[in-house]
Amino acid sequence: MGKPLTKSQIAEHLAEKSGLTKRAMVQFLDELAALAYREAKNVFTLPGLGKLKLANRKARIGRNPQTGKEIKIPAKRVVKFRVVKAAKDAILGKK
């Protein structure tokens, strides 16, 4: 597995493909991230990639792995990202 692309590398690639400046692409990526953070409370969809959404987890009983003692895990809100089928097929290949 190779190294993940940095924000700068992504911006450079998008700038080359779109004909815009790298600075404009960095600003675009920042705005896209800010929009995703703000709209995740509802559902934020990135077409072709997936959906970012806020979900509620119920309280549950877990175990401390060192002692084996049962502990109560409180309810909480979490952010989930669900990948769309088209992205899964493109990355993993069709079955």
Cβ-count burial 70-85 (b if 16+ within 10 Å, e if not): eeeeeeeeeeeeeeee
Nearest to 10 by CA among 24, 21, 26: 26
Tell me what pLDDT residue 18 has: 93
* Element (DSSP H or E) covering residue 93: none
Domain limits, the chain: 1-38, 40-95
For residue 1, name the pLDDT band (cuts at 50, 70, 90).
Answer: low
pLDDT digits (tens, 9 = 90+) for 54-80: 999 999 999 999 999 999 999 999 999
pTM for this structure?
0.75
Tell me what pLDDT residue 11 has: 94
Question: Could you tell me how far CA 36 lies from the centroid of its own chain?
Answer: 9
Q: Which CATH number fits domain 40-95: 3.20.20.140, 4.10.520.10, 3.10.20.740, 1.10.645.10?
A: 4.10.520.10
pLDDT digits (tens, 9 = 90+) for 16-56: 999 999 999 999 999 999 999 999 888 999 999 999 999 99
Tell me what pLDDT residue 94 has: 80
Instruction: Let me know if 58 is exposed, middle or buried by CB neighbors in 10 A (0-12, 13-18, 19+).
Output: exposed
Q: What are phi and psi of 4, to 5 degrees?
A: -70, 150
